[in-house]
Structure 1
Amino acid sequence: MNNLLLVAGAGLLAGGMNALAGGGSFVTLPALIAAGVPSVQANASSTVALYPGGLASAWAYRDGLGPVGPVPLRALLVTTVVGGIGGALLLLLTPARTFDFIVPWLLLVATFALAFGKRFGEWMRERWQIGQTAVLVVQFALGVYGGYFGGAVGIMMMAVWGLLDSRELKLLNAPRTLLVSAANTMAVVAFVVAQVVHWPETAAMLVGAIVGGYGGAQVGRRAPARVIRYGTLALTACITVAFFVRAYGSGR
């Protein structure tokens, strides 16, 4: 019961983070590991638990769906789905010990994306433009990353799309939420079929995430954006450091 309360609370916090600034998996993954779920299964269970919230966001943004620059949304969707399948299968084939050593680096990449993704995208947009083929290649890679781990993948997508589409970034939220959900859809299917989801913990976390997502949206209307951003970054940085200590601190 204590473990279920732990993961439900983590889901509550993660749902609020995703509604405010992203980074919910930074909370759900360590909570599931702390509850005794092996790391690979914890990552799979975290993806399943946060999936309904992503679908809800995609539905809410449905009126804004459309192409990204000259790239049709369908092409991006197919590319992301194929990448998501590859990433999910890659995770299932990764030994737990290997994943334990990889995950701190994935968290570090996601932390930098949260901290600098928007600014980096703006910097690149002032200097380069890329073509459709390059965008689809990168989108496939991001689909793989999304199916395998997925932390801050939406921010990474927007940074790349900014090199192709001159619209204000917030107008790309609709395709972002759809394509992140597309990558996660294939991951969820693969994880359920492979029976790697720990359902009691996942169900408790899912309920918490739904409540947290609603509450986070309400808080987001009132709390200063800077406070939310810095609080999120501080939490994600601390969790990343903790995972590095966990993986490498014992001198293995």
Structure 2
Amino acid sequence: MLTPISKMLIGGIRGFSVMAAKRGLIFRQMFEPVSCTYTYLLADADTKEAILIDPVMETANRDAKLVKELGLNMTYAANTHCHADHITGTGVLKKLLPGCKSVISKDSGAMADIHIQQGDLIKFGKYSLEARATPGHTDGCLTYVLNDKSMAFTGDALLIRGCGRTDFQQGCPKTLYKSVHSQIFTLPDSCHLYPAHDYTGQMVTTVEEEKRLNPRLTKSEAEFAKIMNNLNLPRPKQIDIAVPANLKCGIQDD
């Protein structure tokens, strides 16, 4: 049974999707329950060019089916970073959707068809996503910002009322703090933020909300570092499988 908060969140997502559709942007938010990962589909309704952000291997067939049902041309499958909690779906999608190219930060250390960095644009039809370097969770973390700055896809750098951990994969609390404050919190307050994960059933937040309500990132840099250095979280269950596989991001042996 949906709680009032869940109903409000779902209503908000639907409302935003309707607004996006009115300006010719197709937008879908999809969920993978084991790793609690969100995958995002964006497309130009006129040209049918599309991009997927943070696909998961186990749901690649679902994503490819939706792309085909909507009559889209999947040009890119992009990761926000080299994930430790699931295997990316880019390799499978490249086989299911010929012409699709994998994308990741050049600082990730991962293989891909296209490596990007701060300020690069991924274009699909009349739209584009700007890559903003937001390291701290990993060296290769990127936040993807829609060209009108109405939406940003923050990966693990910024979660809803939280952030990615910093205790492995080149993690650094001070680097993450500076990344979020300089690259995400400088976006318009109304910008909708979509994370790579959520573990509480929430789906979207805004810059204004996180600047005001994030229990970690509203603290000073020193306080934030102390919090992050004392989380004592368990080791990700899939890290030993996921990281080696994701270092071959989208490049599969035939």
Same fold? TM cut 0.5: no
Higher relative contact order (CA 8 A, sep 6+): 1
Q: Which of the pair is proportionally richer in strand?
A: 2
TM-score (norm 1): 0.28
